[in-house]
Structure 1
Amino acid sequence: MKMMPLERRGISNSRLVLGCMGLGGSWNSADPVTSSHIRQAEEAVEAALSIGITMYDHADIYKRGKAESVFGQVLKQQPRLREQIVIQSKVGIHLSDGILPQRYNFSKGHILHSVDGILERLGTQYLDVLLLHRPDPLMEPDEIAEAFTMLKLTGKVRNFGVSNMSPGQIRFLQSALPDPFVVNQLEMSLLRHHWVDPGILHINQKADLKDSFPEGLMEFMQMENIQIQAWGPLSQGRFSGKESDNATEAEMKTAALVQQIADENETTPEAIVLAWLMKHPACIQPVIGTVNPKRIIACKDAARQAEIMTREQWYTLLVSARGVNMP
């Protein structure tokens, strides 16, 4: 299998990332972090490490900071673990407080303040990667560059990236930054398969653009050696055993097909769902959102399945998920 962009940059060779949004209990900031929440984090990290996951994804808003806090407790109890793993977090979203709406903020002051909070909650001196969480319409590249330069010079952040951004937005920001972005994190899965559409359905076709994906994004990421990370890659278990009252006919047929391929390959449905993403030449790196140890371990075989998945299987899964034939 090809080397991932992060691996080529010497940052990480972890084929999967553990997304930590599920840690820390409820989204109510008034609810305290308990010993059971810390134990949940320990078990999730243990399961992830057991299948070779060494990269962990956070954001300052996850459980309103509590996800990072419980992960920080895991690091505190295992001091040697920090140098064995890669930690990334995200900044830029203000959650609604009931008075003001949810909004985005890429101002220098907010970025610097947010990173200090992240480092304090995690109990670490640096982040391996910092991502700008969602595009801020008011973002100014020069101001962001000032913040990033300070974070780099003080050793608080080693690498930078973005999340949910288009090629145009990345070029706009990159024009003022001295260091290249190393990651762009996007929602991609067998359920949210619209990232395939621009290269097939938007060329000389009457495409349904209600779920459009930025034109040329996949090609741009590969040309710029930017790691594509897929959030939501397991689709909340829709294709790996979770029952849903509102599943479409296409989803039900695809779940059956995933199970069939998994049975034939003597593996798990989770591995097949992830392998479908990882088969792509862009070396997509799934960020699995489950913190259930059994489901984490069920993802173990994904990289091997990506290597052996045939083109025919890949297209069959795509057509099944789309619910209509290719043009």
Structure 2
Amino acid sequence: MKTLNIVNGPQNVSAIIQGCMRMPALSKEDAANVICTAYECGINFFDHATCYGNGEAEERFSQALPLTGIRREDIFIQSKCGLCFDRNEFDWTKENILSSVDDSLRRLNVEYLDALLLHRPDLLFDPEEVAEAFDTLEREGKVRCFGISNLMPMQIELLKKYVKQPLVFNQVQFSLEQSQLIDQALYMNNKTTEFSINRDGSALDYCRLNDITIQAWSPLQFGMFGGTFIDNPDFLELNKALAEIAERENVSKAAVAIAWILRHPAKMQAIIGTMNPEHIKDTCEAVKVKLSHHDWYELYLASGKFLP
């Protein structure tokens, strides 16, 4: 497994993250199989959120982990807070951040989170209140590093004015089909295509300049929750290009799609969400794929983009 040393953060973390959003659907035995398979493939990073199954994902993980024989100190557990669907609001108040972490620690049955991310912006967030919450969590040893999810650069700058801890991760959507993170730079100043629209405030360049590691969620998806583009008849050209490289590299098309993300010099992490152990094994083959500069562009263009 390819590993990364995160600036101001953890060392030797896997480039591929096992997402746990779908874990509530599994028995604790099946969840243990998922965790074991991921770990045996070299994944040592597991991503949670308080809203995943309304906490059930964290609970299932804690029920399953003791069945695996994997030591807590050998894995990196991340959770996110702020999405309160039961109240139909996003909440970054100090009270909610602190109570959310306490709830996550209880559900996960751990003493600390390796990382806590703020999950999408609360439109009413007070950065001073967030800073107080982070100081408390750090002082009490409940969180070791911090980050954000789906935040634009100016929102991050506002947080950084008050928060003293480094923000080391930004979790955003990115895939061959949902490539808006990189599109605008290519099509800038071009009125003939909507690809020229800056949708994220140049988040990728900002994060690279500020040593914030991008975590790509839904790396095999089209739309926000449209399903996978792998073997989807609506993406024939893309699947043809993926298949050609997959055959050459003796891996799955999913592995090639993940390798396309990992090939980017920003040193991103890719979050996979499958609960199928065989799919986990197949996808982790991405770290063995050697994509040339030409391969990378060929896949990008096959996804429906064009060169200006």
TM-score range, shorter chain: over 0.9
Matches within 5 A, 1:178-327: 178-208=164-194, 212-235=198-221, 236-239=227-230, 241=231, 244=232, 247-248=233-234, 251-305=235-289, 308-322=290-304, 324-327=305-308
Comparing 190-199 with 124-133, greater Cα deviation is found at 190-199
Aligned position for 2:39: 49
Partner amino acid, structure 2, of 1:299: T
- Unmatched 5+ stretches in structure 1: 26-35
Give 1:10 deviation, angstroms.
3.4
TM value normalised by structure 1:
0.87
Say which SS state the counterpart of residue 187 (structure 2) adopts: coil
Comparing 204-213 with 36-45, greater Cα deviation is found at 204-213
- TM-superposition CA deviations, 1:148-206 (whole Å, max 9, x none): 10000000001000000111111111110111101000000011111111211124554
Please tell me the root mean square deviation across aligned C-alpha atoms, in Å: 2.0
- TM-superposition CA deviations, 1:199-226 (whole Å, max 9, x none): 1112455431697531321111111111
Q: Are residues 1:167 and 2:157 paired?
A: no
- TM-superposition CA deviations, 1:6-34 (whole Å, max 9, x none): 26733442110000001012xxxxxxxxx
Query: Identity over aligned residues, as a percent?
Result: 34
Aligned position for 2:79: 89
Give 1:139 deviation, angstroms.
0.4
Contact 1:89 1:130 in 2 (8 A): yes
How far apart are the structure 2 equivalents of 1:189 and 1:162?
19
Q: Structure 1 runs of 4+ off > 6 angstroms?
A: none
- Indicate how the Cα distance of structure 1 residues 67 and 91 shifts in structure 2: closer, same or farther if over 3 A, else same: same
TM value normalised by structure 2:
0.92
Aligned position for 1:156: 142
Contact 1:254 1:321 in 2 (8 A): yes
- Indicate how the Cα distance of structure 1 residues 179 and 276 shifts in structure 2: closer, same or farther if over 3 A, else same: same
Give 1:80 deviation, angstroms.
5.0
Say which SS state the counterpart of residue 182 (structure 1) adopts: strand
- Indicate how the Cα distance of structure 1 residues 132 and 208 shifts in structure 2: closer, same or farther if over 3 A, else same: same
Give 1:145 deviation, angstroms.
0.4
Contact 2:208 2:266 in 1 (8 A): yes
- Unmatched 5+ stretches in structure 2: 222-226
How far apart are the structure 2 equivalents of 1:150 and 1:300?
37
Partner amino acid, structure 1, of 2:186: I
